[in-house]
Amino acid sequence: MDAKIRLYVEHPLGEGQSVPLDRPQAHYLFGVMRQAAGAHVLLFNGQDGEWLAQVVEAGKRGGVLACVSQTKPLQMPPDVWLCFAPIKKTRTDFIVEKATEMGAARIVPMQTEFTNSGRIQRDRLQAHAVEAAEQCGGTYVPEVGELIRFDRLMDGWGDARQIMFCDEELTTSLTSRLRGEAGPWAIFIGPEGGFSERERARLRGMEAAVSVSLGPRILRADTAAVAAMTLWQQSLGDWQ
């Protein structure tokens, strides 16, 4: 059965399970994508894998699908968070989209001393993560956290989760230190103005932090996020 449309739903999925659609989903599926009763769609909810489902009822304000069979089991990403300082709107959207595609388990916007924006639209960013997961064939959607102050995040950190601290002031590559260190990790990317000296000193002084260079050029924060996710996934994640 040829089902190309993938939809994220907040509803349990299982054999014979019926799944109601809300108005925006019905608009997308029946209005934009011109699907009708009998059509097949792929569903995932971040917990039960991916399911082939058939449209049972199609309306302007809603609809109902019925799960037929599982097409993919749930595939969890490795336990790596992307902690980054929000930048301009479209570039922040880009970071969330790419982190989802590349396999981040959680996305943590953090407010550092030089972060330009003191607010984020968390729901909008979460919607970007959902869209990215729909598009890339993933069965998991990383949660986008509320904006948290850097100091608050650090105060409760502990030693259990290691930090890949992307430090543009480093000149020599230390990425070899990433090899073989399994367990939970977080990648730290600073804002346009970089981390402050105080923040840098705090990170450098942490037992759990490994300082890493991303090469001799200063990358924009969005480029740095993609480069860091690539290095981490290649060294320790599920790209090996």
Residues that bind ligand SAM (CB under 6 A): 166-168, 189-190, 192-195, 213-215, 217-221, 224
Residue 148, φ and ψ in degrees, nearest 5: -125, 140
Residue 153, φ and ψ in degrees, nearest 5: -60, -45
Pick 41 or 85: Cβ nearer ligand SAM? 85
CB of 159 to ligand SAM, least distance (A): 21
Pick 181 or 192: Cβ nearer ligand SAM? 192
Compute the half-sphere exposure of residue 184: CA atoms within 13 Å on the CB side of its CA.
8
| Distance (Å, whole) CA 238 – CA 240 | 6
In whole angstroms, how far apart are CA 24 and each of 27, 50, 59, 90, 197? 5, 21, 11, 23, 46
Pick 13 or 96: Cβ nearer ligand SAM? 96
Runs of H (alpha helix) within 103-196: 122-136, 150-155
CB of 171 to ligand SAM, least distance (A): 9
CB of 203 to ligand SAM, least distance (A): 10
Pick 27 or 91: Cβ nearer ligand SAM? 91
CB of 27 to ligand SAM, least distance (A): 38
Given a contact cutoff of 8 angstroms between Cβ atoms, the answer to whether 12 and 28 are in contact is no
Pick 15 or 192: Cβ nearer ligand SAM? 192
Given a contact cutoff of 8 angstroms between Cβ atoms, the answer to whether 181 and 236 are in contact is yes
CB of 175 to ligand SAM, least distance (A): 10
